[in-house]
Amino acid sequence: MEKNVMQQVFQYKVDAEGIATFTIDYPGKSMNVIDQAFIDGLNDCIRRAVADAQVIGAIITSAKDAFVAGADLLTMEANLDAGADDSVAIAFEKYASLSAVYRRLETCGKPIVAAINGVAMGGGFELCLACHHRVMSDASGVVVGLPEVQVGLLPGAGGTQRLPRMLGVLAALPWLLEGKTATAAKALEAGLVNAVAAPERLLATARQWLLDQPHSTQAWDQKGFKIPGGNPLDPRVAPGFVVGNTMIVAATQGNLPAPLAIQSCVYEGCLLPIDKGLRIESKYLLAVATLSPVSRSMIRTLFINKSRAEKGLHRPAAIAAFKCSKLGMVGAGMMGGGIALNAAQRGIDVVLIDRDQEAAMRGYGYAEKALAKQVQRGRLAQDKMDAILKRITPTTDYLLLRDAELVVEAVFEDRAVKAEVTRRLDAVLSPDCVLATNTSTLPISLLAQASIRPERFIGLHFFSPADRMPLVEVIRGQQTSDQTLARALDFVAQLKKTPIVVNDARGFFTSRFIGAFIDDAISMVAEGISPPLIDNCARQAGMPVGPLAITDELSIELSVHAGQSQAKEFGADYRPGRSVPVLQKLYALGRMGKKVGQGFYDYTDSGKRVWPGLALLFPPREAQPAPHDLKQRILYVQAIEAARAFAEGVLLAPADGDLGAILGVGFPAYTGGPFCYIDGIGLTAFVNEADRLADLFGEHLRPNELLREMAASGQTFYGPKAGPVPVP
């Protein structure tokens, strides 16, 4: 059976002129991916071409629209579990297997040309680099690149060795460290490919190169070869590694092992013959893939879980697909304007409603301004901008929503205001129209009480700016029907966003998750912990912005009013956070945040600095906590909150929590999200560290019973030992 699959992955054909064509066409897959069947198939093609004296050279191309998308990450994840007990020697040979077959290709003695007809990424482009010549189609959408660093890996099939030998060390490093992609024109200019051809001329151009008596030995295999621009010890090159390492540490805070590993691969490997360099590369690939949880966590969340969510992981089955052609958008603020723009960009007609025409026009103006910037930067044609704006109708007239198929309400975060809008909508909407409320905290089931059809009511929590942020938190109320959930998920997919689905509860998942972080960080001020230490440790832990700085950005006034609204809404059930006394003191002093130039920081034209008065309001401790302990506290308080949400049945699966944390509220991507983070540490080690932190800083860091039970029974959130999902 394996032999049959192997033969199908590559179609082998030789023409009358002795040119072999290796056509990649992985059966049953929309895109060609690299796995063991791919490796075996390529090996077989090489063997046949070498053994046939009539073959003068070979073309490698694809029968699919894309060339090769890269490694099959699903298989990679499965292999990590299957190979957990492999010896180092066996693991090394596995991780070096693709590199070995590519090396066999380039040293087979016959010229090989890559005819790149579609996207070639990662290991797919490394296959092209191993060929003796590269011809790339100039069709729209065809790009090449080595994006492995973006999922915590390094190009491990020769990319870190061949690219510097082709371009020079300093020219190659940005392509390796940034994971950039290149169109045909840019690839040719950079030297990534040798020629560009129109799609209909691609194979003919590749054939002609083979007929022109080409070389079959790579430059780096020829005697006397020298790397363009000098090797890593060359005075022109060596300073680049010093600067590069400094920039990497500053950008990653040492949390991502792959960029430094890439630098090491290039530095060490380019001082040696290529065969030794390739082994060094395989060594570092094995290390980043297996010795650190980072790459596995990033792959699991940012590729596997994200892909599953976008393909309808939680979509009810047996319900017809839904496509929205007319959307109602009630509330034309920044959020409403962003949603309207996003929908119009996807070909949906939008009726944008607010309390008066002036307010509605402000939402329209948001879309107009955002599109104008794209036109100015050459990213959008003027006629396309005009067509998008034509789909948005700013108005005050609810009657225009009679034939809308879905309506999103994004008015002020107040239950009474939202109830009034819901009643007005129910009076005009068709019976099967879905009504979605955009709210970050108010329970959907409570808001649905204002509707005459709660089964058609659902929460869609967008993140600001809504036209750019990739996540939508879909909240199912107690009476939300399967059909409504399916329609909401189809609409999110139509917007090209990633959905997570959660059960109804105050704060849902993302708001309570980020709230735990912000609340705890602000309470540290009251504990006498230095404000710069708080924000700096948060950034060192991988958070994009310090919690005090982000509170100033969002507005202290907004935070205080949100707390007052929650207290009014939930009465005796409201539990104020530990940050409330700090925020109220600043609010009383008129320190509303960055918008007024005064918050935790003072803002001037020359920059910002911590307000000296904080030390008078909240005297600093004599002995400050160790930065390591604060970084742990910052990450653990969020992970523990995620575990609580999971135990309460708010989350349908750990994947929703991980995606929501990273894509929605900026939890460090290198962790893979809170549940990948806990698994990466190990449940027992995590529980023990959480107990230590609770002893240091307070009971809110104490792990819940779910975590203790999972640790005791050897369970994990992912993998073969994954525990059951709690039922709400």
608 and 692 assigned to the same domain: no
pLDDT of residue 727: 65
What's the one-letter identity of residue 400? L
**58 contacts 113 by C-beta, under 8 angstroms:** yes
Higher pLDDT, 391 or 576: 391
583 and 700 assigned to the same domain: no
pLDDT in tens, 57-91: 999 999 999 999 888 877 777 777 776 778 889 98
613 and 687 assigned to the same domain: no
Residue 143 structure tokens: 């790009």
Cβ within 8 Å of residue 300, ≥6 positions away: 77, 658, 672, 676, 718
Closest Cα partner for 417 from 432, 437, 395?
A: 437
- The whole-number average pLDDT for the span 599-628 is 94
Out of 461, 561, 628, 700, which one is annotated catalytic?
461
Closest Cα partner for 717 from 669, 663, 649, 646?
A: 646
Query: What CATH number did the domain enclosing 593 receive?
Result: 1.10.1040.50
Q: Which domain holds residue 703?
A: 628-713
DSSP code string of 373-385: HHHHTTSS-HHHH
The residue to which tokens 């006498």 are assigned: 528
448 and 472 assigned to the same domain: yes
- Asked if the peptide bond before residue 454 counts as cis, ω within 30 degrees of 0, the response is no
**129 contacts 234 by C-beta, under 8 angstroms:** no
| pLDDT value at 573 more than 80 | no
Residue 374 structure tokens: 């794209």
The last residue of one of the domains, among 617, 650, 683, is 617
List the Cα angle 91/93/97 in 5-degree steps: 120
**Ramachandran region, residue 119 (left: φ > 0; alpha: ψ -120 to 50; beta: rest):** beta
Residue 601 structure tokens: 């920081």
| pLDDT value at 705 more than 60 | yes
466 and 334 assigned to the same domain: yes
Is 561 labeled as catalytic in the residue annotation?
A: no
Structural domain contains residue 541: yes
260 and 248 assigned to the same domain: yes
**728 contacts 665 by C-beta, under 8 angstroms:** no
466 and 336 assigned to the same domain: yes
27 and 101 assigned to the same domain: yes
**Ramachandran region, residue 692 (left: φ > 0; alpha: ψ -120 to 50; beta: rest):** alpha
Find the DSSP H helices in 600-682. Answer: 613-617, 627-647, 654-659, 665, 674-681
| pLDDT value at 567 more than 80 | no
pLDDT in tens, 636-688: 999 999 999 999 999 999 999 999 999 999 999 999 999 999 999 999 999 99
Partner residues linked to 409 by β-bridges: 330, 437
533 and 652 assigned to the same domain: no
Q: Which of 75-79, 312-316, 724-728 has the lowest mean pLDDT?
A: 724-728
The last residue of one of the domains, among 240, 275, 292, is 292
User: Cα dihedral angle (79, 82, 85, 87), rounded to 10 degrees?
Assistant: -40
| pLDDT value at 501 more than 60 | yes
Distances (CA, A) of 170 to 228, 239, 248, 353, 360: 10, 10, 15, 54, 52
Structural domain contains residue 320: no
Overall domain count for the chain: 4
DSSP code string of 251-316: HHTT--HHHHHHHHHHHHHTTS-HHHHHHHHHHHHHHHHHTSSHHHHHHIIIIIIHHHHHTTTTPP
The three-state secondary structure class of 668 is coil
269 and 349 assigned to the same domain: no
pTM value is 0.90
| pLDDT value at 4 more than 50 | no
pLDDT of residue 275: 96
Confidence of residue 315 (pLDDT cuts 50, 70, 90): very high
Query: What CATH number did the domain enclosing 144 receive?
Result: 3.90.226.10
Q: Mapped to the 3 state alphabet, what secondary structure does 477-500 carry?
A: CCCCCHHHHHHHHHHHHHCCCEEE
Percent of the chain whose predicted confidence (pLDDT) is above 90: 85
Confidence of residue 288 (pLDDT cuts 50, 70, 90): very high
Distances (CA, A) of 16 to 19, 21, 62, 113, 452: 7, 12, 21, 18, 74
| pLDDT value at 531 more than 60 | yes
> Average per-residue pLDDT in the chain?
93
Residue 613 structure tokens: 């008065």
| pLDDT value at 520 more than 60 | yes
The three-state secondary structure class of 649 is coil
Residue 40 structure tokens: 């075996």
243 and 372 assigned to the same domain: no
Q: How far apart are alpha carbons 657 and 45 in whole angstroms?
A: 44
Q: How far apart are alpha carbons 340 and 351 in whole angstroms?
A: 8
Structural domain contains residue 312: no
CA 214 to chain centre: 42
Structural domain contains residue 29: yes
474 and 524 assigned to the same domain: no
Query: What CATH number did the domain enclosing 343 receive?
Result: 3.40.50.720
Residue 217 structure tokens: 């030995």
pLDDT in tens, 415-474: 899 999 999 999 999 999 999 999 988 899 999 999 999 999 999 999 999 999 999 999
Q: How far apart are alpha carbons 690 and 636 in whole angstroms?
A: 7
Structural domain contains residue 70: yes
Q: Is 246 exposed, middle or buried (0-12, 13-18, 19+ CB in 10 A)?
A: exposed
The residue to which tokens 């680049």 are assigned: 240
